[in-house]
Structure 1
Amino acid sequence: MWCILTNGIKWRVYRSIEKCAAPDKLMYEVSLDPEASEGMTVEQIARRMWRFSREEMAKGSLDALGEQTFTDGKVRKALQALLSDPPRQLLNLVRKAGADQNLTTQQIKASLMRITGEVNPGQPPTGAAVAPGASSLSPSARSRGAKQAWETRRAARSESPYDEAHHLAGKPQEAVALFKALDRICMSFAPSDLSRRYLAKSVNYDHGKRCFCSVHVLQTGLRIWLPLKCGHIENPPAFARDVSNIGHWGTGDVELRISNRAELDMAADLIRRSFESTR
């Protein structure tokens, strides 16, 4: 079921039973080289190595993690395909379950895309006619200055040469799953008021004009930056550090080095605190 390739320094763990191209079978990797460990702590490296120890393999821990990670990836991909072009049967089911026969097909499609984050906030919904360079909101809804600022942000997003695929290309399945989980956490705070910005080295989550979370996807997990002060965090987790005097690709003085879902769950409160600081 598992294939582990190593040169004694770097270990790459593949779930060999998956029916996909070999690179896509990569579950995770870990390196003992401090210069190639991507900032992971000794404890984080040890936990990843322990996953394929005799004891853990006997308990089936890696099997359970692999099954969950790859199954979630397949289901997520299927749902994205379904919701990007929902079949009539699905639309009818949604209309029936919503107990409102007046819901139109376009309304349901647009709602599904908003709920699943397929459309970034600020972009017009499917079927909306918007003249080039014009806002989808009426002029009376915004002041001239606010409208111009909104148009500028919208144009900047649409002109970015980067996207999610750029950040996830070649990444192990566990790292992809961690990013997807972080994305759900961030976008859950205020779906209609948040936007993603895809930069060369990071994905930024913005609330209005302010970024409350930046993330860089690594081979070994996530590097997250929050605009908080490390000294204001009581009992910071072991995977957090102060980078106020260290150059980095994100926004903020607090860096979180996330290597598994348990650490991301622990970080959720800090991410929420960062979001609330922008309100």
Structure 2
Amino acid sequence: MRHVEEWNEENIQIRAHELAEKAKEVWKYPYLPVDILEAYKSSDIENPEYTLEHYEYLKDDILTLYYALRKRIMNTDPSVKEEMKKLYIAFKAYTNFVDIVPQKSRLRLSLNIAFPDILDPKGLCKDVSEVGRWGNGDVEVGLYNLNEIDDVMDLIQQAFDKQMEDY
């Protein structure tokens, strides 16, 4: 087939068959029963669905705090969606702009905005750009009680607005 004068559909099919046969000789694989192979297909792996009950610390006062914050975040814009992840709860428009990790005594928020870009007159934010954390973003802020929601929402709004600017 090396010196074929015309590469038409028939000759391409013949060459493909020859190459497939050679590949089977070169790259042998161990015999596995079909049922074992089927178990490893990615389409057979289920994506787990997470709910609020999945989060260990999302109960009592922290759950009340979460519901109040969630309502405010969802009212930011009609494009905002909530997505439960294994280790955090994401709020996104185009991508995550705030992620929430429920903790024993607070909600830890990761804001997806560069630390130098956040306007934080009350000094609530922490730069976590060099720290490994669950969630997306360089800015961390803790929410401990309902009285802090307005201040925290100002920071969340900045992360949302920055995302909307960038897209």
Asked if TM exceeds 0.5, the reply is: yes
1:234 partnered with 2:122: no
Q: How does 1:63-74 map to 2 (within 5 A)?
A: none
1:268 aligns with 2:153: yes
Match of 1:182 in 2: 69
| 1:163–1:229 distance in 2 versus 1, CA, 3 Å | same
1:17-69 CA-to-partner distances (Å, cap 9, x unmatched) read xxxxxxxxxxxxxxxxxxxxxxxxxxxxxxxxxxxxxxxxxxxxxxxxxxxxx
Aligned partners of 1:223, 1:170: CA distance in 2, in Å?
12
- Show the counterpart of 2:103: 218
Deviation at 1:176, TM superposition (A): 0.6
User: Could you tell me which amino acid in structure 2 is paired with residue 162 of structure 1?
Assistant: Y
Which one-letter code corresponds to 2:136 in the other structure? T
* Uncovered stretches (5+) of structure 2, i.e. residues with no partner: 1-45
**How many angstroms does 1:249 deviate by?**
0.3
| CA spacing shift, 1:214–1:159, aligned 2, 3 Å | same
What amino acid sits opposite 1:211 in the alignment?
N
The 3 A distance-change label for structure 1 pair 243 and 236 is: farther
Map residues 1-279 of structure 1 onto 2, 5 A cutoff.
159-167=47-55, 169=56, 171-191=58-78, 193-208=79-94, 210-279=95-164
Q: C-alpha displacement at 1:258, in angstroms?
A: 1.2
Structure whose CA Rg is larger: 2
Shift of 1:256: 0.5
- Which runs of 4 or more aligned residues in structure 1 lie more than 6 Å from their structure 2 counterparts after TM superposition? none
The root-mean-square deviation of aligned C-alpha atoms, in Å, is: 1.9
Unaligned 5+ residue runs, structure 1? 1-157
Sequence identity (%): 25
Map Cα deviations across residues 146-183 of structure 1 (whole Å, 9 max, x no partner): xxxxxxxxxxxx9433122212x454421111111111
Highest relative contact order (Cα 8 Å, sep 6+), 1 or 2? Answer: 2
- The 8 Å contact of residues 160 and 199 in structure 1, kept in 2 or not, is answered as no
Change in 2 beyond 3 A, CA 1:207/1:261: same
Partner of 1:219: helix, strand, or coil?
Answer: coil
Give the conservation status (yes or no) of the 8 Å contact 2:83–2:91.
Answer: yes
Conserved 8 A contact 1:227-1:274: yes
Q: What is the TM-score normalised by the length of structure 2?
A: 0.64
Q: TM-score, normalised by structure 1?
A: 0.40
Q: Residue 82 of structure 2 contacts residue 89 of structure 2 at CA under 8 Å; is this kept in 1? A: yes
Q: Which amino acid is the alignment partner of residue 198 of structure 1? A: M
- C-alpha separation in 2, matches of 1:235 and 1:171: 27
Cα distance in 2 between the residues matched to 1:236 and 1:253: 17
Whose helix fraction is larger, Structure 1's or Structure 2's?
A: 1
